[in-house]
Amino acid sequence: MSATEQGEAEWIRLAKKGDSDAFERLMSAHEGRMYALALRMCGHREDAQDCLQEAMIRIYKALDRFKGQSSFATWAYRITMNACLDELRRRKSRQGASLDALLDSGWAPSDPEDTPDRHVLRTERREAIERAIYALPEDMRAAIVLRDVQGFSYEEIARILDANIGTIKSRISRSRERLREVLSAQTELFGRRPV
């Protein structure tokens, strides 16, 4: 067990006993990736922040039930994913939400060679990709975001989504194919459609 894992194990032990500082350190170690996951799933910063807060509350309430059968990170990401899926189900009944542009989150070009035309094209491509991902069914979106955006292994995704690896691979494959179809139809952004 590495020093980091030992530190995390100690934080978990102390947090289970009610040590709020230990819980805060534990959450700080995972908050960035949990938020990134929530943002990719929800598409809105505010919703992602709400999901992150909900996930942290759920983790706090369920911490005494964490038995260490998977890594703490996997367990925390599963709870985060479930909070996001719950939000998406609630949102489905409200209908009509759209993705925030990454520019709203403060992104600015850092490349001095970045011309306005290139910047606009890159922004439009990114937004088209985000819309295409957001249009996927929840189960496919969750798998593709965890794999291609967050970089989790198939095994980790299977644990987070509580599904077998074959199902996860199938969802990712179907998601990629659907994204390829949608994006290749947008020739003005992604070039000519193959013949």
For residues 33 and 51, give the distance between their C-alpha atoms in angstroms, rounded to a whole number. 13
pLDDT at 93 over 70: no
Q: Which amino acid is at 122?
A: R
Domain 1-97 CATH (choose: 1.10.1740.10, 2.60.120.10, 3.20.20.70, 3.40.50.300): 1.10.1740.10
Q: What angle do CA 108, 109, 111 make, to 5 degrees?
A: 155
What are the angstrom distances between the C-alpha of 62 and each of 16, 66, 84? 9, 7, 17
pLDDT at 120 over 80: no
- Residue spans of the domains in the chain: they are 1-97, 113-195
> Which fold would CATH assign to domain 113-195?
Arc Repressor Mutant, subunit A (1.10.10)
Return the higher-pLDDT residue of 1 and 156.
156
Burial of residue 144 (CB within 10 Å: 0-12, 13-18, 19+) is buried
Joined tokens for residue 172 = 């990712």
Return the higher-pLDDT residue of 1 and 152.
152
Is residue 59 a contact partner of residue 73, using CB atoms and an 8 Å limit? no
Task: Put residue 2 in one of left, alpha, beta given phi > 0 → left and psi -120 to 50 → alpha.
Answer: beta
Query: Does the predicted TM-score (pTM) go above 0.85?
Result: no
DSSP state letters, 139-195: HHHHHHIIIIIT---HHHHHHHHT--HHHHHHHHHHHHHHHHHHHHT-HHHH-PPP-
Band the pLDDT of 70: cuts 50, 70, 90. confident
